[in-house]
A and B are shown apart, each in its own frame.
Chain A
């Protein structure tokens, strides 16, 4: 496949791995921000190609994982109502709320539908004027433009039976929260290529300066990630802390301006609670006042719902890079993809699910490859 196969070439991957090994003189801890990168790293075993002195930590960039329990409970409450068609990306259906999940709502008779685009939900609203159609608008800056467009179009076309349950999150405040934490171990970042495709990377430049941390905007294929690590290690070894763009085939410094303009028109920056991490100031997007009528939480009066996390789940520590999935006592025993205690075990991009899916053999001590997962325990 053009544009994929050339980024999965084994010989080039080896060359990059060797180059990284040559550059590395000290241990370094690098965090890949995006869950898509985590998935690729574990699926392709990219970390096992790296020298053991490089530790990759998996960041908070899985939208499914960081959507707070309250929002899932709100989704379940809304989807359970008669007269509601509840639309969501597929990943969100199996994420456990405090009592139930959307699959259970569906099996109990709720009209829950998987869509691939918020515009599909808008179409469903047009086709079902007697029903309330609600879209679960989650994700980072990547999904925000399409969600903004759906709301903007609903407003322009006077579609009043459409609303969105919004739990958008923003990457830079989460990175700053990690860097500002006393327990931070991260020395360099691979920033999320798709988020930067939308937003550009100017907002990362102050972060790199303030915390003296290299940030490499990185893609999602094996060679992208290896090249991102290479650029990051070179900066670390040289004592540099700059924003570099590995993913130039998709990312421009200024990003996609029309998409940003749409986000700014429809959304406003709000404090947002991150599942497993807690509230981070100015880290989310909510509907801007002119679009408040499309807020499902308000329309269905579920806004002041509160919920407690399962105390056994350490997903917050995993999402901040403080612990690895296998350090959780419940990993693979009480907590599995079929019976997840927390969202990191549900999403394909969740670190726990990725480890469960691809790495259990090493964790069971069955393979000598364990060494290569490189400094997983502090």
Chain B
């Protein structure tokens, strides 16, 4: 990778192998960064004018618009880095609105002293992720903060997508009798990141599930599934998604614990760390609420890793809480995690 970097980043930048304050100054050094790092990777006709903003063509349909900031530590982990998160995170938020993601902005806050090869690596992952998700990065910004006032790279991305379905997808569209589908096993992203954290390092082969969700969502919509609600399972994991949707919809949710796929390695790591797989973050997993009659068809469209994990109950029958039926046949409640998940002490 360093060789490739040297190929595309000639003398001015290799002279300064790290980010300096001047790279955010708006002058020649900023220009160098744009021309030698960002443009070669992100380059497209909308970005090319390097104007103050991108001028987008007219779009047919309602628009979805979202923003997210990415501050993951460490910035590289098994299965991704802050760059792939920055693209997929925003792409997925648009997909969860039922939109086809089209355009992203990328705002970088770089810490003085950041190795340029690290920035290059992140930018290249972003470029690859954008290609995979069929979106274009059309505008951007770079700022540099003093050493010690950032943590390597922070990235903000905003995104625009067009909604081509007449459905209104959101918690308020959830109906009693809806079935909840999950598109794959949960917990890998959170554990993959934790495995790399300082002071925690444990050996694992767990790879982040970071991935764009626009294709599976489009498969559901193109397959004429009457999707009521979509939610990606990022911070707070499956727990937070279900609790929040249940509360917004004012309906109780029932989940079968055994139907939720969790890799053995993830379960093992969670046992050791005292975490609940249900509450661990994912970056390529989502739940879809669909009418019970379409559960099977939706499952087929989502592929063999998808699973039906629960159902929505009727209003008034019980409080709008999320109950889990455990493997033992007992029930317990899912509740929002309080603050950061804390490792257990014994």
Contacts and interface: CB of A to CB of B under 8 A. Distances in A.
Interface of A: 1, 4, 8, 10, 13-14, 36, 42-46, 48-49, 63-64, 89-94, 103, 113-116, 120, 138-140, 142-143, 194, 222, 336-338, 348-349, 356-361, 364, 366-367, 369
B199 A115 contact: yes
A8 B327 contact: yes
A366 B326 CA distance: 19
Secondary structure class of chain B's binding surface, majority of residues: loop
Contact of A364 (B264, B319, B331, B345): B319
Q: Which 9 A-B pairs have the closest CB atoms?
A: A45-B330, A89-B345, A90-B342, A337-B338, A358-B332, A90-B343, A366-B319, A91-B345, A366-B318
A357 B328 contact: no
A100 to B, nearest CB: 16
A360 B345 contact: no
B146 interface: no
Contacts of B328: 8, 10, 13, 44-46, 49, 222
Contacts of A92: 345
Nearest to A226: B328
A64 B274 CA distance: 14
A10 B329 contact: yes
Secondary structure class of chain A's binding surface, majority of residues: helix
Given A116-B199, A361-B321, A139 B346 contact: yes
Interface in B124-173: none
Contacts of A140: 346
B198 to A, nearest CB: 9
Interface in B306-346: 318-319, 321, 323, 326-333, 335, 338-339, 342-346
B56 interface: no
A42 B332 contact: yes
Contacts of B332: 42-45, 358-359
B267 interface: yes
A140 B346 CA distance: 9
Contacts of A8: 327-328
Contact of A91 (B199, B321, B331, B344): B344
Nearest to A223: B328
Contacts of A91: 342-345
Given A4-B267, A361-B323, 19 more contacts: A45-B331, A46-B328, A48-B331, A63-B346, A90-B342, A90-B343, A91-B342, A91-B343, A94-B339, A115-B199, A142-B346, A194-B346, A222-B328, A336-B338, A338-B338, A358-B335, A361-B333, A367-B318, A367-B323
B161 to A, nearest CB: 34
Q: Which of A63, A349, A359, A361 neighbours the largest number of chain B CB atoms within 10 Å of its CB?
A: A361
B26 interface: no
A92 B342 CA distance: 9
B333 A358 contact: yes
A1 B318 contact: no
Contact of A1 (B199, B268, B326, B345): B268
A360 B343 contact: no
A1 B330 contact: no
B200 interface: yes
Nearest to B326: A44
Nearest to B339: A94
Interface string B269-307: 001001000000000000000000000000000000000
B271 A348 contact: no
A114 B329 contact: no
B186 to A, nearest CB: 16
A114 B343 contact: yes
B199 A120 contact: yes
Nearest to B273: A116
Contact of B342 (A43, A120, A348): A348
B53 to A, nearest CB: 36
Contact of A36 (B318, B333, B346): B346
A135 to B, nearest CB: 12
A14 B327 CA distance: 11
B326 A114 contact: no
Contacts of A357: 333, 335
Contacts of A89: 343, 345-346
A198 to B, nearest CB: 11
Contacts of B331: 45, 48, 367, 369
Contacts of A10: 327-329
Contacts of A360: 321, 333, 335
A53 B216 CA distance: 51
10 contacts: A1-B264, A4-B271, A43-B326, A44-B326, A46-B330, A92-B345, A120-B199, A138-B345, A348-B344, A360-B335
